[in-house]
Amino acid sequence: MATRDIALTTSMAALYVALSYLPGFPVIGVEGATIGVLSAVVPVFGFVLGPWLGASAAFVGGIVRRILTGASVYSWLLLPATVLSAFVAGCLSRRRVGIVRGWMVTALVLGGLIFAWYLTWVGQVVWVFPLLHWAGLAVVLLFGEWLALFFQRGEGLELMVCVGLCSFVANMVAQIYGTLVFIGAAELGVIGASLSPIFFLALIPVFAVERLIFTVIATVVGVPVVLALRRQFLRS
């Protein structure tokens, strides 16, 4: 890795740790657990560093944060949520990830998580839960490589819409992963939580508002950062 990459990845990991101390939204059904505002900013890691380095920064930052705070088992299980968020944001904003088109990688990740939802008994009962996640997958399939094109060359409204859509998809990936972990943790007795279908139906408007707020935050932060670093640091 180039010195620049190491410096940026380390800086982003340190930023992750710092932002994780900001207050967040409570996780409904899990006493004492919260979803930090950090989750809204993590897609920017992928925008700036690309999928692999962005995910690495989120991973390292997440580990350091959990070690410093003595995190619970449930918190450790949620670590991949922010890692995946940074990864798919990086994939959507790049035309290719290795030999594969970036949007295809994102479609596989989000599509796979939606499929995993319907493999659970909760998912088979509350089949409407991933409506916003399906919307995120539709964004990926409809716009595809145009997202990367607008990200690299777009200005003004084009860039804002692009960053907003990429952030929305990244947030949907993190949310459904977190929900799947919630179900698995509850069934294994890691957390004491209700798996009532009514609970998940009531959760839909809550997480919708939460993730849309996160998307707005990521867009507000991401657009000026991308404009400032596009020529100097963004990896093609």
The CATH number of the domain where 98 resides is what? 1.10.1760
Q: Considering the entire predicted model, what is its pTM? A: 0.89
Contact between residue 190 and residue 29 where contact means Cβ atoms under 8 Å apart? no
Report how far apart the first and last C-alpha atoms of the chain are (Å, whole number).
Answer: 15
CA distance 115 to 16: 30
Between 48 and 114, where is the model more confident? 114
**Closest Cα partner for 137 from 101, 117, 162, 113?**
113
Residue 235 placed within a domain? no
CA distances from 152 to 87, 142, 156, 167 (A): 17, 18, 12, 15
Between 230 and 86, where is the model more confident? 86
When divided into structural domains, the chain yields a total of: 1
Q: Which of 168-172, 196-200, 225-229 has the lowest mean pLDDT?
A: 225-229
Q: What is the pLDDT of residue 35?
A: 66
Residue 234 placed within a domain? no
Share of the chain above pLDDT 90, in %: 54
Residue 170 placed within a domain? yes
pLDDT band per the 50, 70, 90 thresholds, residue 2: confident
Q: State mean pLDDT over 109-121.
A: 97
pLDDT at 145 over 90: no
Residue 236 placed within a domain? no
Contact between residue 162 and residue 100 where contact means Cβ atoms under 8 Å apart? no
pLDDT at 236 over 50: no
pLDDT at 107 over 50: yes
Q: What is the pLDDT of residue 31?
A: 56
Residue 88 placed within a domain? yes
Residue 7 placed within a domain? yes
pLDDT at 184 over 90: yes
Q: Which of 19-33, 60-74, 87-101, 128-142 has the lowest mean pLDDT?
A: 19-33
Residue 153 placed within a domain? yes
Q: Which domain holds residue 101?
A: 3-229
Q: Which of 2-6, 161-165, 182-186, 209-213 has the lowest mean pLDDT?
A: 2-6
Length of the chain equals 236
pLDDT band per the 50, 70, 90 thresholds, residue 155: confident
Q: What is the pLDDT of residue 235?
A: 47
Q: State mean pLDDT over 216-224.
A: 91
CA distance 167 to 169: 5
Q: State mean pLDDT over 45-67.
A: 92
Q: What is the pLDDT of residue 195?
A: 86
Residue 69 placed within a domain? yes
Q: What is the pLDDT of residue 130?
A: 96
Q: Report how many helices (DSSP H) and strands (DSSP E) the chain contains, helices first.
A: 11, 4
Contact between residue 113 and residue 177 where contact means Cβ atoms under 8 Å apart? yes
